Amino acid sequence: MAPLVAAPLALVRACHPEPTVAVTLMVTGLALTTGRDARGVLLVAAAVLAGQLSVGWLNDALDARRDAAAGRADKPVARDEISARTVGAAAAVAALVCVPLSLASGLAAGAVHLVAVGAGWAYDLGVKSTVFSVLPYVVAFGLLPVFVVLGLPGAPSPWWVAAPWWLPVAAALLGAGAHFANVLPDLDDDAATGVRGLPHRLGAARSRIAAATLLFTATVVLAIAAPLPAAVTVAVPVLAMLLLAAGFRAGRTAGSRAPFRAVMGVALLAVLLLLASGAALS
C-alpha cells in the first residue's frame, strides 16, 4: 500500500474508531432529539469527534510499548505502521481543535465538554491502571449530555437546572458499564503488561456482572425517571432483564461470548432510551 494511503489509514485505526464513532453518534443523536438546530448539531458532532480522537490517539501513543509487548496485531503503532510520535502529535492537534469547537456551543457548555475530554486524558495518563479507573468514564459520560443541553438556545444556568438529574446519572451509569464491558476482551493482555484497573482487580466474572448491573440500572433510571410512554417504562427493563438472563445462562459454556453480547445489547437499549428521552429536554 502506498505510504500516502497507508499512514492516514493507520492513523484512523489508532484512534479507537469503534468507540470514537459510537460516542460521537450517540451525542450527535441526542443533540438532534433535543432540538439543536443544524449548526448546533454539527458543532456538537465536531467537538465530540475531536475530543474522542484526542483521547483515542493519546491512548495508543502512550501504550505503544505495552501493545507491542502484548503482540497486539490490531494496533498500528505496535506494528510500526505509524510512529507513536505522529499519533501523539495528532492527539495534541485534536485536543487543540476541540477547544474552540466546544466553546462554540457557549462558555458553560464548552467548559463542561472540555472537563469530559480531560477525564478521558486522565484515564490515558495513568488512572486506567488504578482502582479508580472507572471514574473518568463516569465523569466523561455523565457530562456529555449536559454539554448538549447547556448548548440549547436559552438553556438555564447552572447546569443542574438545565439538565434533569436523571440525564447525567443514567449517562454516568452507561459510561461505567461501558468501561467494564470494553475492558473485558483485553483483560489478559492488560494484566500481562502491568495495567491494573478496577476490572482487572475484580476479574472477568465479576467485571461482567458489574457491566450488566450498571447498564441495567441505567435503563431502569431512564425508563422510570424520563418522560417516556408507559409501555416503554415497563417493556425496556423487562427486555433488558431477559437479555441478561439468556446471555448469562448461555455463558456457562466455556469460551462463550454470550454474556458479553447480552451486556452490549443492554447498552444499546440504554443508548436508545437516552436518545428517546432527548425530546423531553427541548
The three-point CA angle 184-50-167 to 5° equals 65
Question: For cell 501513543, what's the residue?
Answer: 61
Domain presence at residue 103: no
> What domain count does the chain have?
1
**Residue 226 has what DSSP assignment?**
S
Domain presence at residue 90: no
Which has more pLDDT, 161 or 13?
A: 13
pTM of the model: 0.89
Residue 252, SS3 per DSSP? coil
**Residue 138: alpha-carbon gap to chain centroid:** 9
Torsion angle in degrees (nearest 10) through CA of 36, 218, 108, 121: -110
Half-sphere exposure of 129 (CA within 13 A, CB side): 13
What is the model's pLDDT at position 87?
94
Instruction: Assess contact for 150 and 164: CB atoms under 8 A.
Output: no
Domain presence at residue 11: no
Condensed to tens digits (0 to 9), the pLDDT of residues 101-140 reads: 999 999 999 999 999 999 999 999 999 999 999 999 999 9
Residue 134 and residue 127: Cα distance in Å, rounded?
A: 9
pLDDT over threshold 90, residue 142: yes
pLDDT-derived band of residue 158, with 50, 70 and 90 as boundaries?
low
Domain presence at residue 272: yes
Residue 131 and residue 72: Cα distance in Å, rounded?
A: 24
Condensed to tens digits (0 to 9), the pLDDT of residues 207-245 reads: 888 988 998 999 999 888 888 888 888 888 888 888 888
Residue 174 and residue 218: Cα distance in Å, rounded?
A: 6
Domain presence at residue 23: no
Q: Alpha carbon of 261 to those of 111, 185, 244: distances in Å?
A: 35, 12, 9
Per DSSP, helices labelled H in the chain are 3-13, 17-33, 38-62, 64-69, 84-103, 107-124, 135-150, 159-162, 166-183, 187-192, 198-202, 204-225, 230-250, 258-277
DSSP states along 128-157? GGSTTTTHHHHHHHHHHHHHHHHTSTT--S
Domain presence at residue 279: yes
Domain that holds residue 194: 175-282
Integer-rounded Cα Rg, in Å, for the chain is 19
Domain presence at residue 267: yes
pLDDT over threshold 70, residue 255: no
Domain presence at residue 79: no
Residues with Cβ within 8 Å of 84's Cβ and at least 6 positions away in sequence, in order, are 60, 61, 62, 64, 77
**Residue 24: alpha-carbon gap to chain centroid:** 9
What is the model's pLDDT at position 141?
94
Instruction: Assess contact for 171 and 274: CB atoms under 8 A.
Output: yes
pLDDT-derived band of residue 254, with 50, 70 and 90 as boundaries?
low
